[in-house]
Structure formats: C-alpha cells, structure tokens
C-alpha cells in the first residue's frame, strides 16, 4: 500500500471551521483528512500518533469564556485519556518531538499560544510567553488583509511565498508579547512569519484597518524555530478557490487556486518528502 499523508482536524466545544480546513488539506493532496471530535481523542478511540499533520481550526472554543481558547488550552494541558496512564498532552508533545506538523488558525492560533506551543522559544512548548487579546478597535473584525511573508523565516508553510491575501474574522487577534525581550527574540529568530501590510506587500503597518487588531510589530502569524509549528489569525482555509475571493466576479485573471491553499500544499509536500 502506498504511504499516505494523514491530516487530522480537531473539532468540538465551539470549533466551526473544521470542514473548510479538512477540505483544504484534501485539495492540497492529503490522502486522509479526518475530522475528529476532541472527545474521541480523550476516549482513546483515536490517537495523534496515527497522523502527520495536526490542524487546530477556528471557532469559539468554550464560548471564549476566560478569554479566547484559554479553557481549551487548560483542557489539552491536563486532560487524561480514558483507561490510560497517558494524557493528551503526552501524545501532543510526542507528535511534536517526532517532527510532525501543527497548524493553528484563528482560535487554533490562540490555543497554541496559550498552551505555550508558540512561539516555543528554545523549544519550550509549555510556557506561555505571548498572547492574543482584544482588538484595538474594540469590535469583531471581519475583513480581508494583505500579509507580508518573511522570506528568512524557517516556516515550512510559507516557503517560496512573498505575500498572501486572506480574510480575518476575530475579536481577540491582537498579538502581544509579555516582555520586550520575547518580542525581540521572535524578531531576531525570524519567527514572525506573517505581518499585516499594505496592498503592495512592501512593509508591515500599524495603520488600521490594514492592521485590523493593532498587533505588536504588525504580527499576524508566528512559527517555532523548527518551522513546523505555525499559527496565524487570518483564515487560509477560507481562500482555496478563486470564487472565495471577494472580487472574483470582477477580477478577470484570478487563478483557480486561492492563495490560502499554498500553505496547505507546502505542508503536504513537507510530509511527503520528509516524513513518509
């Protein structure tokens, strides 16, 4: 049997973008893109060990009680697997240790940050050093944004990309570092993969609405030092086909593939070339 790229998309407790993410994985070439309820993992009926690419999709985990994704982060840190001595966090850290891929979008990014998975400085994946908090506008932002890619970033998802155009839809998307030294290290190690910018992709901006939430240093997405763990507030799964573009009926030369699909294609390519 040919080896398969196996992606898993976790759902439950308020996630609402799981089908779009699974579709993006399939369009990108993953042979398997399973949508799995968190309860199935905690019951031991499904194991992360059987997959290569873990996706934490957007939504409103636990109604954003305690702040976006905070309750979900506590659950994943401490929840034990039924009938086992193992915790779900044990599987997760083994998954990361084996060089597999984790991508969090919007609420999934918030979850990774609050678990300490990102930015994962010094490969410490348990200590929270940054957060995502309320937008400076004081309201939910639903708009399309231009994103500048750092070509020197180790991020495997953005390889060969210079800029992408994706929608945001969030109320707590402002990236904040707890200490200046943390932000300086993120910048020094080129972990700030994506930054909000103007339409020409020339330079990061703090100007609203191009920067929809007021993120420090215009940061829209970060990775860890391996480039395998990646989180971003904009939604790549929401632009995988030309008809998802807000001006698709007016733009004459849009390619069939939407820009968001590129991130998933890079992930699938990495799994096929490095993990199979």
Half-sphere exposure of 102 (CA within 13 A, CB side): 30
Closest to 93 in 3D by CA, of 239, 269, 224, 260: 224
Residue 223: what pLDDT?
98
Going across the sheet that includes 32-37, the strands are: 32-37, 6-11, 53-56, 101-105, 229-232, 219-223, 194-197, 141-149, 163-170
Backbone angles phi, psi at 77, to 5 degrees: -70, -40
Mind listing the pLDDT tens digit for each residue in 96-155? Answer: 999 999 999 999 999 999 999 999 999 999 999 999 999 999 999 999 999 999 999 999
The H or E element spanning position 54 is strand 53-56
Q: How far is CA 247 from the centre of its chain?
A: 25
Q: What angle do CA 4, 9, 11 make, to 5 degrees?
A: 155
Strand partners, 121: none
75-79, 191-195, 220-224, 226-230: the lowest-pLDDT one = 75-79
Residue 66: what pLDDT?
67
Please classify residue 254 by burial: count the beta carbons closer than 10 Å to its beta carbon, then call 0-12 exposed, 13-18 middle and 19+ buried. middle
pLDDT band at 73 (very low <50, low <70, confident <90, very high): confident
List C-alpha distances in Å: 127 to 113, 115, 118, 130: 9, 7, 9, 9
Assess contact for 273 and 3: CB atoms under 8 A.
no
Please classify residue 228 by burial: count the beta carbons closer than 10 Å to its beta carbon, then call 0-12 exposed, 13-18 middle and 19+ buried. buried
Tokens matching residue 79: 């929840």
Average pLDDT over residues 169-174: 96
- Does 75 score more than 90 pLDDT? no
Active site residues: 106, 235, 237
Q: What angle do CA 155, 260, 98 make, to 5 degrees?
A: 35
Mind listing the pLDDT tens digit for each residue in 198-209? Answer: 999 999 999 999
Closest to 175 in 3D by CA, of 227, 224, 222, 128: 222
Domains of the chain with CATH codes: 6-275 (3.40.50.880)
Q: How far apart are CA 244 and CA 108, in angstroms?
A: 21
Residue 84: what pLDDT?
85
Residue 74: what pLDDT?
81
Residue 68: what pLDDT?
80
Strand partners, 102: 54, 229
Residues whose CB falls within 8 Å of the CB of residue 144, separated by 6 or more in sequence, listed in order: 165, 166, 167, 168, 246
Mean pLDDT in the chain? 94
Tokens matching residue 65: 């009680």
């Amino acid at each position: 049997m040919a080896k398969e790229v196996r992606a898993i998309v976790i759902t439950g407790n308020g996630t609402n973008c799981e089908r779009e993410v699974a579709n993006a994985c399939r369009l990108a070439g993953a042979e398997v893109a399973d949508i799995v309820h968190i309860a199935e993992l905690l019951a031991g009926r499904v194991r992360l060990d059987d997959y290569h690419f873990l996706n934490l999709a957007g939504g409103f985990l636990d109604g954003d009680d305690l702040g976006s994704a905070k309750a979900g982060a506590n659950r994943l840190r401490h929840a034990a697997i039924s009938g086992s001595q193992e915790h779900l966090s044990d599987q997760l850290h083994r998954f990361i240790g084996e060089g597999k891929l984790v991508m969090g979008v919007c609420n999934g990014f918030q979850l990774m940050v609050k678990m300490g998975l990102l930015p994962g400085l010094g490969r410490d994946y348990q200590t929270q050093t940054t957060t995502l908090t309320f937008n400076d506008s004081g309201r939910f932002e639903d708009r399309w944004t231009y994103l500048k890619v750092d070509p020197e970033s180790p991020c495997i998802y953005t390889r060969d990309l210079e800029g992408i155009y994706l929608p945001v839809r969030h109320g707590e998307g402002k990236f904040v570092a707890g200490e200046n030294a943390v932000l300086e290290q993120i910048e020094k190690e080129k972990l700030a993969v994506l930054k909000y910018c103007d339409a020409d992709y020339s330079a990061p901006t703090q100007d609203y609405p191009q920067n929809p939430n007021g993120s420090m240093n215009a940061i829209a997405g970060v990775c860890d030092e391996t480039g395998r763990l990646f989180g971003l507030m904009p939604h790549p799964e929401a632009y995988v086909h030309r008809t998802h573009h807000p001006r698709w009926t007016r733009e004459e030369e849009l390619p069939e593939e939407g820009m968001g699909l590129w991130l998933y294609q890079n992930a699938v390519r990495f799994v096929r070339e490095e993990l199979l």
